[in-house]
Structure formats: C-alpha cells, structure tokens
Structure 1
Amino acid sequence: MRERQAPQHSRVPYLATAVAVTAAAAAGSAAADPDSIWYRRLSKPSWQPPAWAFGAVWTPLYASIAWAGGHTLTRTEGERRGALAASLGANLILNAAWNWLFFGRRSPRAGLVGTLLLDLSNIELIRRTARVDTAGARALLPYAGWCAFATALNAAIARRNSS
C-alpha cells in the first residue's frame, strides 16, 4: 500500500490531536491519587514499577498518540477520517476513564474492566490507523504495549485485593 502524502499546510490535525490528548491526560490525572491511603494500602505485585516510572512513561506515550493521530488524520479523507477521529476520541475517553474507575471509585475491578476496554480500543485504533498510515500505526504500538502491561498489573492488584 502506498501512503498518501499530507498537504504541507495541514497542521490542524496535529493541533487537534495534541489538544485532545492533553485534555484526556488532564481529565485522567484529576482522579489519580497514588498517594492516597486507600492506594498505599492495596497489595501490589513485586513487579509494579516505581511511582516515578508512570510519569516518565506516559509523557512520551501521550506525545506519540498525538503525533500518530495528527499524522494519520492528515492522510485520511471522508468517512474514513471521521471514523478514525471517532476511534481516537473513544480511545482517549477510555484512557482518562481508567483513573476514574480505579482511583475515583476505589475499585481495582472497575479499573480492570476499563483497561480491558482500552486494550480493545487500542487494537481498533491501530487497525484503523494501519489501513492508512503504517508509520502512525507503528507509533501507537508502545502505547498499546504499555496498556497491556497496565492491564496485567491491574488484574494482579484486583486479584490480590478481592474480598
């Protein structure tokens, strides 16, 4: 498949995806409270990364999501573009929702449901992206990989703390 070249003047999709990703990150972080007594008392597996790792990982992942979205949207037209934008939007909503399900509801089980839905959304987003833009799809792979790791971590926490 030959990828369509983006028009030189088309920076709007990059700006739109950067704003959407930033909004999702802010919405999710509003609920996250890893310093809460509730979270600190949860039993966690020994392989959980240190707290500082989450910010170190999420910052470049969010940048790659914004870049991949903008890059792919500049190469997509018509109904396919709308479907891709909707898939990205749904993915970002699920991304932010995880914090509200896990921390906001103080429920590892609800968080697990949310992260499983996010994993499915990642597969769909990468599938749609790959149809148009292999570079954009490749840029999303670390995000999907980290989310799969987060799902395994969330599952371990839910299992250790079920009552």
Structure 2
Amino acid sequence: MRWSLFLVPLIVLLGFAAGKVAGPDTLWFQNLVKPAIYPPPPVFGIVWSVLYVMIGFALALVTSAWGADGRGLAILAFVAHFIGNLAWTTVFFGMQNIVGGLMVLGYAVVTLLVVMALFWRVRKLAALLLVPYLAWASFATALNYQFMVENPDGGVAGDGGAVQRVKL
C-alpha cells in the first residue's frame, strides 16, 4: 500500500491540474447546445474524483507487483493511456475542438482496454478497479459525440460573439 500513498495523490493531482488548464467556464462552452444526456455539472467533479482515486489504487497494485510478468509493459501502457486521458480537457475545452476531443476519447477507450488486459495479467483486482473508469470513459465518448451532433458548426460563435481559444 506504500505505492498508493504516492500514486493516488499523484493521479488525483494530475487530473485536477488538467482540469485547471482548460475547463467548461468559457463562453464557447456555455454557448454550446447541451445534449439531453449531459449530466448536471457537479457530477463531473464527483465522478472524476472517485475515479482518479480508483485509478491510482489500480496503478499502485500493479507497480507494487515486483517480479510479475508484464509489470513493466502494463505500467508503460498506462502512462501512454493516461496522457490521452489528460489531453482531452485541453483539446475539447482549451482548443475548443469537439471532433478532436472525440478522437482523443476514442484513443483513451481503446488504450484503456489494453491497459485493463495488461493489468489483468499482473493483478486482476487492478483491472477490475478500472471497470467504472471504462464505463465513464465510454459515456464521455457518447456525450462528446452528442456534443458534435448538437453543434455541427463546432460551437463557433456567430454574429460577432466573443470566443476564447487556447492555442498550443
């Protein structure tokens, strides 16, 4: 459990930091047509907080499995996956790119399935801890798709409306 004392706060901190880089507080997002499946905004903070704790514990279980076959590959796959997870906020909110956000989520879901398979080989509980995360990532993908359908113009402000964009 020593690994969890480091990894759980690290994962939560990284998730929090990604949310501070860009978020839903822009005029662009406020003006988007919200899909019917869009939950109340406080749900996102609650769900992500719980999920990041579970993700941190799952990673701790794998990193603490010294000598387990596939441990290194599982950790490497997780890092590649988690970069995509963190990138979505910047792509969707910061760059105001709904289609790009959908592509990032597609990457995140596919790589999460790989991570879960690799975690399963190291510690089954670690893979099981990621099941709610997979469900939420799948829901987020459907939600992002619905944003794309509801806002075919990408949410571009018309009639001289101000739009705040972050370019990387």
Using the alignment, how far apart are the partners of 2:123 and 2:45 within structure 1?
28
Partner of 2:24: 34
Identity of aligned residues (%): 30
**3-state SS of paired residue (1:131):** helix
**Do residues 154 (structure 1) and 114 (structure 2) align?**
no
Q: In the superposition, relative to structure 1, how do residues 80 and 15 fare at CA in structure 2: closer, same or farther (>3 Å)?
A: farther
Deviations 1:111-143 (A, max 9, x none): 001111000111011000111211111110000
Question: Residue 97 of structure 1 corresponds to which residue in structure 2?
Answer: 87
- CA RMSD in angstroms comes to 1.7
Shift of 1:151: 0.1
1:58 correspondence with 2:48: yes
Structure 1, gaps ≥5 residues long: 1-9
Per the TM alignment, residue 27 of structure 1 is displaced from its structure 2 partner at its CA by 3.4
TM-score, with normalisation over the residues of structure 1? 0.86
| 1:45 to 2:39 alignment | no
Q: Measure how far apart 1:18 and its partner are.
A: 2.4
Cα offsets for 1:69-88 (capped at 9, x unmatched): 10122225367222111111
Q: Which residue of 2 aligns with 1:7?
A: none
Structure 1: which 4+ aligned runs deviate by more than 4 Å?
Answer: none
Pick aligned residue for 1:138 from 128, 147, 150 = 128
What is the CA distance between 1:104 and its match in structure 2?
1.0
- What TM-score, normalized to structure 2? 0.84
Q: State the 1:162 CA deviation.
A: 1.9
Unaligned runs of 5+ in 2: 154-168
> 1:121 is matched by which residue type in structure 2?
T
